[in-house]
Amino acid sequence: MADLLIGQTLRFTGNPMTEGLGTARHSARGGVLIDAGRIAAVGEADDLRRAHPHARVTDYGDALISAGFVDAHAHYPQTAMIASWGKRLIDWLNTYTFPEEMKFSDLAYAKEIASRYFELTLANGTTSVCSYCTIHPESVDAFFSEAHRRGLRSYAGKTCMDRNAPDGLTDTARSAYDDSKRLLREWHGVDRLSYVVTPRFSPTSTPEQLEAIGALWREHPDCLMQTHLSEQTDEVAWVRSLFPTARDYLDTYEAHGLLGAGALFGHAIYLEPREIDRLREVDASLIHCPTSNTFIGSGLFDMDGLSSAGHRIGLATDTGGGSSFSMLRTMAAAYEVAQLRGRALHPAELWWLATAGAARALRADGQIGNLSPGLEADLAIIDLASTPAISQRSTRAGDIWEALFPTIMMGDDRSIVDVYVAGRSMKVKSLQNIENNIVR
């Protein structure tokens, strides 16, 4: 039987950052019809009720029905050490990250953390993530098996590193290629799962390993490739010393076949003009990780300049360099970072970045990230009055943007009424908690 969800709805007909705010479409009393795991129709509630009298109706009242959030860059193995104090990137990796990642040779531990990670992200309204794993194949099996169990569209790959990491946390050029290939064959395209070719970043891979991973990507061009680029100035200087003949940081990837459409570059803060041009030319994706960039003290991503130049940009938590699992908190940080660079991002732009924009960065906008007929029914239901502080603000709102912005800035998992994964309610919160809610 088809399901009809009723509430406020928000969808996009284009990219509000480049095509204008008119691409954001709001309905105060809209509906989303779900059939066989997909969105079958989107429109006004009354019209959909008339056209589909036998659909099972769930009325969310004033809550907002949106596409589920898409987190375009995360490290699920860093779940248990998120919010670790006092270090910048390289020290933070050595002090906190690498010791934690060592534990993922143990499949049982990897599964425990993967399960906890998906519970946390779903509770925050995130229905798709693109995650790094660790060097251990077990960490990839744990991620994909837990994602599969929940029916999630998910992206991940084995992190490859063959230098500048502790013993027990390195592979080799050969084993990185072999293990990645085996995992890719096992998981890529299984239901909603996608394998992502994943060299961690240039400092932890030898040129030989980058070459081997580049060869693997060439053999599987339908996979995405994810890595880090120009996050901190010390890191950029380190890359220059490790690759003395490279033109710049991006060139350390480009020279080994690791640049192209389908490449995802996390952070991308300290870019040279050549890098900016080249990334645009090949239409690679830049992934903005604002809570991480402030938390680890990295810097201020140039959202305005890069989006105006036509770059493909997604938004992400970068858990656990980022200090939150919430894409609401991540939108708030993106707003604050852009303010520090003199640009006020509109709520429609922020929401797009966390849904359709992030999906587009993952080249998944044909499947997820929006309320459009034919897309998979991954949804988040958002309470726009989830706390007294938000409620006293949103009740005075004159339009949807004034109603939405307090939740963007102050919302958290309490704002998430429920999530739907391929049309199935994950029952994040009991419906009885929702004021004005009528279930028939």
Span of 39-47, 258-266, 276-284, 428-436 interacting with Zn ion by CB under 5 A: 258-266
Which structure tokens are listed for 309?
């130049």
Please state, in angstroms and as integers, the Cα–Cα distance from residue 410 to each residue in 385, 388, 399, 437, following that order: 10, 11, 18, 23
Of 59, 231, 376, 383, the residue at the interface with ligand GUN (CB under 6 A) is 231
Q: Is 228 a binder of ligand GUN (CB under 6 A)? A: yes
CA 343 to chain centre: 22
Q: Is 34 helix (H, G, I), strand (E, B) or coil?
A: strand
CB of 97 to ligand GUN, least distance (A): 5
Based on CB atoms, which residue is closest to ligand GUN, 94 or 425?
94
Helix (H) or strand (E) holding 118: helix 107-123
Span of 89-97, 140-148, 183-191, 394-402 interacting with ligand GUN by CB under 6 A: 89-97
Interaction residues for ligand GUN, span 69-88 (CB under 6 A): 75
Q: Is 288 a binder of ligand GUN (CB under 6 A)? A: no
How many binding residues for ligand GUN (CB under 6 A)? Answer: 12
Q: Is 157 a binder of Zn ion (CB under 5 A)? A: no
Q: What mask of x and - would describe binding to Zn ion in positions 284 to 323, judged by CB under 5 A?
A: ----------------------------------x-----
Q: At what angle do helices 207-219 and 173-187 cross, to 10 degrees?
A: 20
Please name the residues in contact with 119: beta carbons below 8 A apart, sequence gap of 6 or more: none
Region for 374 from its dihedrals, namely left if φ exceeds 0, alpha if ψ lies in -120 to 50, beta otherwise: left
Q: Is 97 a binder of ligand GUN (CB under 6 A)? A: yes
CB 322 within 8 A of CB 83: no
CB 200 within 8 A of CB 180: no
Rounded Cα distance, 35 and 237, in Å: 53
Please state, in angstroms and as integers, the Cα–Cα distance from residue 105 to each residue in 101, 111, 139, following that order: 8, 11, 7
Span of 133-141, 144-152, 261-269, 419-427 interacting with Zn ion by CB under 5 A: 261-269
Amino acid at 210: L
Q: Is 134 a binder of ligand GUN (CB under 6 A)? A: no
Span of 19-27, 172-180, 259-267, 300-308 interacting with Zn ion by CB under 5 A: 259-267
Q: Is 266 a binder of Zn ion (CB under 5 A)? A: yes
Chain residue at closest Cβ approach to ligand GUN:
321
Contact residues toward Zn ion (CB under 5 A) are: 266, 318
Contact residues toward ligand GUN (CB under 6 A) are: 75, 89, 93, 97, 200-201, 228, 231, 292, 296, 318, 321
